[in-house]
Structure 1
């Protein structure tokens, strides 16, 4: 039984890695290499798939028990989270149009820095001094990687930093807004309510900022039907990122997920360089390695301070 359980956990981690890295690389391919320059519409496709597949998984397949929204205030809190979540995903997708995946992942690794900043500003929660010290290599690594990045693009960099900050803000807000026992939702139920709310936010943004994108996509499909399959597969993968994330956390622990996440970033960098063959410099790789080491030290410092 132990062997079976270990095999199942390895399978889950593999599925999480594959879906996570897969959606990242496919986003990059669609937005940059393929030339489908509509990141807001792409994000809306992701959120639509998450809405439908979350409902199927929870209401029909009973992956987790369904939790209901208990009040108007709770709904408003979920809507606020959804808006920040939208900003994070859209900004991340926009950045992939201009930056290689390797550099995108280097910036994304600074999430702990932004989490610590927002937690301090919004909850006045101070960490141990050692925890703050470990954030120095996290930030220094990205500064070094930026200076040595052959494909550096200022707008893409700003969008990626914005996406990373929004992702950190969402996690801090989630802890504050849904902290009471009556309002706590597991991540799958939270996605069930956040995804359709995100679609409501993204629809007018798509209409205003990416005009006639549906017509353009249909015209593309008439010339190359593969675009339809790319979008369907990509959107389904976006849901499986969330599903496998939840299952890996459930069958291991949040700390294990954090450690695996650090390694996942490094794997994504290597795979993206092999596939897209984007130029990298020794300085850039040194900076990214320094950031990853900083994140590992940060995780260790957090673990020790919580004991």
Structure 2
């Protein structure tokens, strides 16, 4: 691949990654709030169903990555544990979108490095350089400031968002511990291939118990809003695309590039969501979110230098 073609290819991948990540966030908000389809567990089940099917097609038929088999019962139980934690983080994130604007959801989500460092220390006793921990102060401080300046602040939504962010960080640390054995390591695409069906199996009974009238409302809202079906399908495909492009961007660039792009993605998502949903923002809220993003960027840089 020539240098010019390679740049176009990588640029297209990054654009698709941005569109997938921001798109799934905005469509989640649209379905959960604007269309009145308040069933975050069912929505997560749709995402996981799409991830199950599309992962199988991508790996088995299109051979995006080599297929990796589960080698033991122990490895399966480890993957199942990761799947349930991952599932909890997605459900929590979707629940929070019912009550919080996307902009504030992204501000809270930016604190993932804080929880990752916390769980890494508690579970593996891994210590970072003091300057790395110092960079987490503005990460947390920014969210506290943003919370105080958020006109649409909702306590339950905030708790769900924090829980989802913590669960996401917990899953990444847990993955490093459970699948640390060379014989048990799976790339992220094969891990999704196994995790997604397990999540669907876990979510089906949860939907019937916690959202018993989902099918009735689903049909009713679908008749009232003709495009809801298309939005739901597109939303579910984007959920898989976000995972696939995340893997590909890391493969063709680097983990550091992904982190930098991720920080910028959060800011882009905030701006786009404010323009689309017209949710009110304050100077204090914007200042708090900016502080958090700067703290995350500094944290990533210090980890690269001192680890």
Structure 1 residue 216: Cα displacement: 2.2
Separation in 1, partners of 2:24, 2:222: 20
Aligned pairs for 1:190-269 (under 5 A) are 190-269=191-270
Aligned pairs for 1:61-210 (under 5 A) are 61-210=62-211
Separation in 2, partners of 1:19, 1:98: 22
Structure 1 residue 228: Cα displacement: 1.2
Structure 1 residue 135: Cα displacement: 0.3
Contact 2:29–2:98 (CA under 8 A) maintained in structure 1:
yes
Structure 1 residue 305: Cα displacement: 1.2
Separation in 1, partners of 2:32, 2:219: 17
The Cα offsets for residues 168-219 of structure 1, whole Å up to 9 and x where unpaired, read as 0000000000111100000000000000000011111100000031232123
User: Helix, strand or coil for the counterpart of 1:14?
Assistant: helix
Separation in 1, partners of 2:183, 2:34: 46
**Match of residue 7 from structure 1:** 8
Separation in 2, partners of 1:197, 1:69: 14
The Cα offsets for residues 2-58 of structure 1, whole Å up to 9 and x where unpaired, read as 111011100000000001000000001110111100000000000000000000000
Separation in 2, partners of 1:92, 1:216: 21
Separation in 1, partners of 2:277, 2:235: 18
Per the normalisation by structure 2, the TM-score is 0.99
**Match of residue 294 from structure 1:** 295
Separation in 2, partners of 1:146, 1:225: 36
Separation in 1, partners of 2:68, 2:23: 30
Separation in 1, partners of 2:223, 2:200: 26
Structure 1 residue 268: Cα displacement: 0.3
User: Helix, strand or coil for the counterpart of 2:135?
Assistant: helix
Structure 1 residue 97: Cα displacement: 0.5
**Match of residue 21 from structure 1:** 22
Per the normalisation by structure 1, the TM-score is 0.99
2:30 counterpart of 1:43: no
Unaligned stretches of 5+ residues in structure 2: none
Separation in 1, partners of 2:138, 2:219: 47
Separation in 2, partners of 1:47, 1:56: 14
Separation in 1, partners of 2:261, 2:160: 25
The Cα offsets for residues 110-153 of structure 1, whole Å up to 9 and x where unpaired, read as 00000000000000000111100000000000000000101100
Unaligned stretches of 5+ residues in structure 1: none
Structure 1 residue 226: Cα displacement: 1.6
Separation in 1, partners of 2:247, 2:80: 21
Separation in 1, partners of 2:11, 2:195: 29
User: For structure 1, which segment, 208-217 or 251-260, has the greater mean C-alpha deviation from structure 2 after superposition?
Assistant: 208-217
User: For structure 1, which segment, 196-205 or 218-227, has the greater mean C-alpha deviation from structure 2 after superposition?
Assistant: 218-227
